[in-house]
């Protein structure tokens, strides 16, 4: 993703036909390189949860805005990211696709309007993805839980063996891994004699890179705070 984001940033032009971005640098697997990286208006991080301390140290040192698409953070790491937003503008999202943003809105609406339906979430990604379920699947799960009107709603990650009849309060979450799939997410609502399924398919990771670059342009210059993708892109 880092290489893809850099290529698209180098190709991007503004309305006057001039380069839209001035790239300060790129850090690969050696996060220690961040120690010498000069300050930037905004940093885009699509790395690994294990690099958070190094990224946070860079943001603290430079005050740069941070667009983070890193998934797999623990609850404690997400809390640390929120604390970091007291010093700089921070945007974290499990997905930077405009189509997925729309999917999340539709899922929230369906969960609200179909409260008695059983809900199952299935995500599929390439065989090199390190975390499961995907950050996007977790976002979709939150959209269901927040709008279903069921205080007992809870996630069940896969099923095996004699697990018995389905608990009406459970939300199934399933992760598939294989090949080079850029990302497919389906949320299905099962009711008596009918089913509603909402699906988003990513044909290329470019959609996430372009969304992150668009968000970076809007986040730069904002006051310190923790922002959502919707707040930055649609408000």
pLDDT-derived band at 95 (thresholds 50, 70, 90) equals: confident
pLDDT-derived band at 68 (thresholds 50, 70, 90) equals: very high
209 and 222 assigned to the same domain: yes
pLDDT of residue 222: 96
pLDDT of residue 109: 98
171 and 160 assigned to the same domain: yes
Mean pLDDT throughout 179-184? 95
Full residue range of the structural domain in which residue 166 is found: 98-201
Is 1's pLDDT higher than 90? no
pLDDT-derived band at 71 (thresholds 50, 70, 90) equals: confident
Catalytic residue among 105, 112, 125, 148: 125
Catalytic residue among 129, 174, 218, 222: 129
pLDDT of residue 31: 84
pLDDT of residue 134: 93
Which runs of E-coded beta strand occur in 25-145? 42-45, 65-68, 89-92, 118-125
92 and 102 assigned to the same domain: no
116 and 36 assigned to the same domain: no
* Dist. CA 170–CA 67, nearest whole Å: 33
Residue 156, domain CATH: 3.30.360.10
pLDDT of residue 160: 92
* Dist. CA 1–CA 9, nearest whole Å: 12
Q: Is 58 exposed, middle or buried (0-12, 13-18, 19+ CB in 10 A)?
A: buried
168 and 189 assigned to the same domain: yes
Most distant CA pair in the chain: distance in Å?
64
220 and 186 assigned to the same domain: no
Residue 15 zone, left/alpha/beta (φ > 0; ψ -120 to 50; rest): alpha
Pairing of strands 118-125, 184-191: antiparallel
Over the Cα atoms of the chain, what is R_g? 19
48 and 139 assigned to the same domain: no
88 and 114 assigned to the same domain: no
131 and 190 assigned to the same domain: yes
pLDDT digits (tens, 9 = 90+) for 213-228: 999 999 999 999 999 9
Q: Is 173 exposed, middle or buried (0-12, 13-18, 19+ CB in 10 A)?
A: buried
**What total number of domains does the chain contain?**
2
Mean pLDDT throughout 81-107? 95
200 is catalytic: no
Instruction: Tell me phi and psi for residue 82, to 5 degrees.
Output: -65, -40
Is 175's pLDDT higher than 80? yes
- In contact, 226 and 92? CB cutoff 8 Å: yes
Percent of the chain scoring above 70 in pLDDT: 100
Mean pLDDT throughout 74-98? 95
pLDDT of residue 30: 84
129 is catalytic: yes
38 and 106 assigned to the same domain: no
Residue 55, domain CATH: 3.40.50.720
Mean pLDDT throughout 188-195? 98
Mean pLDDT over each residue of the chain, to the nearest integer: 94
Measured CA angle at 18 (ends 16, 22), to 5 deg:
140
pLDDT of residue 32: 86
139 and 219 assigned to the same domain: no
106 and 191 assigned to the same domain: yes
Is 29's pLDDT higher than 80? no
């Amino acid at each position: 993703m880092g290489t893809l984001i850099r290529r698209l940033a180098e190709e991007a032009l503004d309305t006057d036909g001039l380069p839209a971005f001035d790239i300060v640098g790129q850090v690969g697997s050696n996060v220690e390189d961040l120690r010498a990286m000069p300050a930037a208006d905004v940093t885009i991080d699509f790395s690994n949860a294990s690099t958070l301390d190094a990224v946070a140290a860079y943001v603290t040192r430079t005050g740069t805005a941070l667009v983070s698409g890193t998934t797999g953070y623990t609850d404690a790491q997400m809390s640390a990211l929120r604390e970091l937003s007291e010093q700089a503008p921070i945007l974290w999202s499990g997905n930077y696709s405009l189509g997925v943003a729309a999917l999340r809105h539709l899922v929230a609406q369906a969960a609200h309007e179909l409260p008695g339906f059983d809900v199952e979430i299935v995500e599929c990604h390439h065989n090199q993805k390190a975390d499961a379920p995907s950050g996007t699947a977790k976002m979709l799960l939150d959209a269901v839980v927040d709008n279903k009107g069921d205080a007992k709603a809870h996630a069940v990650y896969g099923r095996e063996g004699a697990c018995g009849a389905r608990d009406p309060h459970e939300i199934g979450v399933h992760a598939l891994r294989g090949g080079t799939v850029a990302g497919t997410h389906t949320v299905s609502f099962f009711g008596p004699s009918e089913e509603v399924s909402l699906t988003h398919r990513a044909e290329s990771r470019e959609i996430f890179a372009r969304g992150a670059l668009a968000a970076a342009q809007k986040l730069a210059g904002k006051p310190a705070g923790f922002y959502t993708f919707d707040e930055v892109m649609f408000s």
